[in-house]
Structure 1
Amino acid sequence: MATVSSSLNTGESSYLLLLLGYRGSGKSSSCITITGQEESQGGQPTKEPLLCTKTLGCRKLVLVDTPGWNLEDDDAAATEKLDGEGSTSAHVRHLCYPGVHTLLLVIPIGEPFTEQHRQGMVDRLESAGADVWRFSMVLFTGADRLWGSGVEEFIAEGGLALQWLVERCRNRYHALDNTSSENSAQIGELLRKVVEMVQENERSFFMMDDGVRAPWSVCIPNHEETMITDDAASPIFRSPPRELRLVLVGWQGAGKSSAGNVILGGSRFESGCHTEVSLRQQAYVSGWRVTLVDTPGWDWFSVQRTPAHIRKEIKRGVRLLHPGPHALLLVIPVISTLTSKKRRALENHLEMLGEDASFHTMVLFSCGDWLGCTPIEEHIQRDGGQYLTLMEHCLNFYHVLDSTSASRGQHQVTELLMKVEEMVAHNEGRPFLPVKLNEEQEDETVCAKCSLM
């Protein structure tokens, strides 16, 4: 770094966040919401970088607000530094010494994010190194404009440019309501996501430098001031954690939400009640970035008996994982009997999600503690071979989840994710189930087909 700031050598409990975005995107308002420092820019456009801090328990958030980019200047974005030019650039690097844990790409909700916005942002970010994306998170401002909808729905309807950006940031995002005085929960959730990112990046951070134009950015692990070389064996060239996008589907009361909580290692979904809308959550699990969507349950006996709004909501849940989920986890309680009618209903519901859905489906047996000493393979052979037929339909990919066993908790989840990766590898040219368009038309076609069976 050109300039050293001793004030920011704050140790492992501090996290430095750099806010970037176009003018009027809400960067300064977000700083005020997060830190409570209302004097930050006085409601005026940011002209100089500004540092704000917020202490939450034993952790400290350090935010650097930056002048907004000008959309009219995007033709010059390819030659413009990530953090500005001249004294502004030097000032940002001074405030961000020794490096940035998270780059918050600020996008306002309710305003179009065009291809020009996307390309201008990409040019600026990648001028600092292609590895910048693993330190980036989208921060949506204006969450009050969602009017009861989820931010996931806004992303799904926001166009390809926005969806590309979210996916490029490894599906890391957060929505902030800058009008709410009750902001402790949303700030705590943001901190949780930042901490997960830091853990995912093995406590390394992104370091901006005057001469950075190489395809790799400079990362210094564990806050150690180390001379970085171009040696490909250096720790800074470690491969990023793998990403898996998963959808929980199945009957009402099958235990989808509980299974999701076991997989993500926390109470992310509300269990014990019917899921009404699809909900997406993320966590860093055993070396994987896991993005999981819980969906409403469908009818036990037929697609036709599943209400149209539930079918639509399940499909919306799949679309939350653009460009598509790696696996559909078909949750079945191990205590359930399976008749031919119930098996056909399961298969028909899967076909509702795409003709190739079975290639991407893994049967996830919940309530595994009910098996006792009985092997799952013995259980599968019961019920007149209906489970065997279902297994064949799903290419014999299955797993048992015991939500009562603390000793097996992490091990069984790791084993599940390894099986999902095995299924992805087995599919070769079809690594995930593509998100389908024209959902309503396809829904009518599938229901008409099922009514003839």
Structure 2
Amino acid sequence: MATSYGPLLSEVVVLLVGEKKSGKSSVGNIILGRRAFNQNTSRSSKKSSKNLGIQVAVVDTPGWSSNFPTPDVSKEFLRGLTLCHQVPPVILLVLPIPNPFGEEEWRAMEAQLQLFQTPIWHQAMVLFTRGDHLGGLNIQEYIRRQGLIVQWLLERCRNRYYVVNNQPGAQETELLLKILMIMGITKHPNSLQCSSHTQLRRDVSARIQGGRPIQQEKIEMTEMHDGRPGPRKQMSSRRQYAPAGFVVSSAGLKRPLSLVLLGRRKSGKSSAGNMILDREEFATDLKTTRCSAGHGQVSRWSVTVVDTPGWSMYSLADPKQVKEEMSLSPSLCPAKSKVTFLLVLPVDSFGEKDRKAVEKYLSLLGEEVWRSTVVLFTYGDVLRGQTVEEHILEKGEPLQWVLNRCNNQYHVFDSYKEDRTQVNELLELVEQL
């Protein structure tokens, strides 16, 4: 008899995302234990059922083609988000086993996921459908053969995955248990809490106030196809293609760079991010209130840039929101990338009040953050012939204290320079840290 987790959860919400004919609707039927969704989904819909004593709601969304999602699909996807009433606790990225998942498929998925406008990887799990097509392969060997893009996607999802045969049966219980594991609640069935995205932000805020460092929870998933668990194996591949943010060199997969922009409001963070990526990735005419990430190939580097809300010393920004977003910003960086924080300081006045603000906000990321931080001076044209070293001496102890904490690692951006030399020099500095 299945364990009952009682009426302690008001509702578990699961969002299904995937391309056309990936088996999303069948997955929804498996989770709900009944035929709730029909095939060929053209409109988002929400269906509910009770499983293990828990009320479960599944939101099915239209799939996109191998090309980028059409406006109609994106519109329905956004409507599906409203059916969740909040960012859903669990997002299932549905991949059919018979179909390859390469660069084109990844870019189509990425275009759809950007509609969330918030990091989703801590809530996501890859769900492989049509497991009967594996034949004699186990899932780990299938993943290895699929190559770097699938492996990279799994790493972003903390290597959480599951395989279904698109047939109802005992796997509905196993799949729901996996979903509960992602929510982090199965270890304490007597005190379950609905871990929505809103609750996650409250938890982050509570940890900040309690002075404890934020650590991402690691949930180890095992392959449960045919009901037989097996440990996740180390994956490798010689396929010579890579997802956005990675490059393949003669030495193999080159480690990407991730740059997290930190600083006060109006410091030029968004503009600096656009300069690095050489495109208008971040809006410079709007106030940044949420973290966002952009990816690109910059010279010989694969780069992810994460823009964050700026703090204010004059009550023009919500300090609680800024702290929460800053603490979540590393989660937007690709797994295994080299993460460097760019402390963006405009070339203007910098006093003790500025120093205290920098110390206060960077401390949210732990004491080790200083070792991987580079000071990026923006509005370098204001120097007008003065060297940056002369500027540092002129501003005195507050600025020098910050630079000492960052091991005197700094660089200058002049937005009026059109050549890419200053960007390449910054990336060389980051690579050598």
**TM-score, reference length from structure 2:** 0.50
Tell me which residue corresponds to 1:392: 404
Structure 2 residue identity aligned to 1:246: L
Go from structure 1 to structure 2 and tell me whether the alpha carbon gap of 1:254 and 1:135 turns closer, same or farther (over 3 Å shift): closer
Deviation at 1:124, TM superposition (A): 4.6
Deviation at 1:362, TM superposition (A): 0.9
Whole-Å separation in 2 of the counterparts to 1:292 and 1:339: 28
Go from structure 1 to structure 2 and tell me whether the alpha carbon gap of 1:137 and 1:261 turns closer, same or farther (over 3 Å shift): farther
- Aligned-partner SS, 1:413: helix
Whole-Å separation in 2 of the counterparts to 1:218 and 1:269: 33
The match for 2:432 among 418, 422, 428 is: 422
Whole-Å separation in 2 of the counterparts to 1:270 and 1:342: 25
Go from structure 1 to structure 2 and tell me whether the alpha carbon gap of 1:242 and 1:403 turns closer, same or farther (over 3 Å shift): farther
The match for 1:277 among 290, 305, 311 is: 290
Go from structure 1 to structure 2 and tell me whether the alpha carbon gap of 1:309 and 1:53 turns closer, same or farther (over 3 Å shift): closer
Tell me which residue corresponds to 1:353: 365
Tell me which residue corresponds to 1:293: 306
Deviations 1:154-191 (A, max 9, x none): xx99974699xxxxxxxxxxxxxxxxxxxxxxxxxxxx
Q: How does 1:357-368 map to 2 (within 5 A)?
A: 357-368=369-380
Tell me which residue corresponds to 1:258: 271
Structure 1 residue identity aligned to 2:345: I
Tell me which residue corresponds to 1:43: 40
Q: How does 1:51-450 map to 2 (within 5 A)?
A: 101-102=103-104, 104=106, 123-128=140-145, 131=148, 133=150, 160=218, 216-217=237-238, 219=240, 237-300=250-313, 307-321=319-333, 326-334=339-347, 336-407=348-419, 410-423=420-433
Unmatched 5+ stretches in structure 1: 1-23, 32-40, 45-51, 57-81, 141-148, 164-213, 221-234, 424-453
Go from structure 1 to structure 2 and tell me whether the alpha carbon gap of 1:139 and 1:42 turns closer, same or farther (over 3 Å shift): farther
Confirm or deny: 8 A CA contact 1:125 1:132 kept in the other structure: no
Whole-Å separation in 1 of the counterparts to 2:381 and 2:266: 17
Confirm or deny: 8 A CA contact 1:258 1:269 kept in the other structure: yes
Confirm or deny: 8 A CA contact 1:101 1:135 kept in the other structure: no
Matched, 1:28 2:20: yes
Greater CA deviation, 367-376 or 124-133? 124-133
Structure 2 residue identity aligned to 1:26: G
What is the aligned-residue identity percentage? 28
Deviations 1:13-70 (A, max 9, x none): xxxxxxxxxxx86332589xxxxxxxxx9739xxxxxxx88699xxxxxxxxxxxxxx
Structure 2 residue identity aligned to 1:357: V
- Aligned-partner SS, 1:290: strand
Go from structure 1 to structure 2 and tell me whether the alpha carbon gap of 1:359 and 1:55 turns closer, same or farther (over 3 Å shift): closer
Confirm or deny: 8 A CA contact 1:103 1:135 kept in the other structure: no
- Aligned-partner SS, 2:417: coil
Structure 2 residue identity aligned to 1:308: K
Deviations 1:104-136 (A, max 9, x none): 497999997569969x99615444165565886
Unmatched 5+ stretches in structure 2: 1-15, 24-37, 42-64, 70-94, 132-137, 158-196, 205-214, 222-234, 242-247
Whole-Å separation in 2 of the counterparts to 1:135 and 1:312: 26
Structure 2 residue identity aligned to 1:413: V
CA RMSD of aligned residues (A): 5.1
Structure 2 residue identity aligned to 1:289: S
Whole-Å separation in 2 of the counterparts to 1:260 and 1:332: 14
Whole-Å separation in 2 of the counterparts to 1:380 and 1:139: 40
Deviations 1:343-398 (A, max 9, x none): 12212221122122211211100011222222111111112333222211111000
Confirm or deny: 8 A CA contact 2:264 2:311 kept in the other structure: yes
Confirm or deny: 8 A CA contact 1:102 1:135 kept in the other structure: no
Whole-Å separation in 1 of the counterparts to 2:156 and 2:398: 47
Whole-Å separation in 2 of the counterparts to 1:83 and 1:306: 43
Deviation at 1:246, TM superposition (A): 1.5
Confirm or deny: 8 A CA contact 2:126 2:154 kept in the other structure: no
**TM-score, reference length from structure 1:** 0.48
Go from structure 1 to structure 2 and tell me whether the alpha carbon gap of 1:29 and 1:42 turns closer, same or farther (over 3 Å shift): same
Structure 2 residue identity aligned to 1:242: R
Deviations 1:290-313 (A, max 9, x none): 1111111112379x9862122212
Deviations 1:299-354 (A, max 9, x none): 2379x9862122212222233337687211111111x2111222122122211221
Deviation at 1:239, TM superposition (A): 2.5
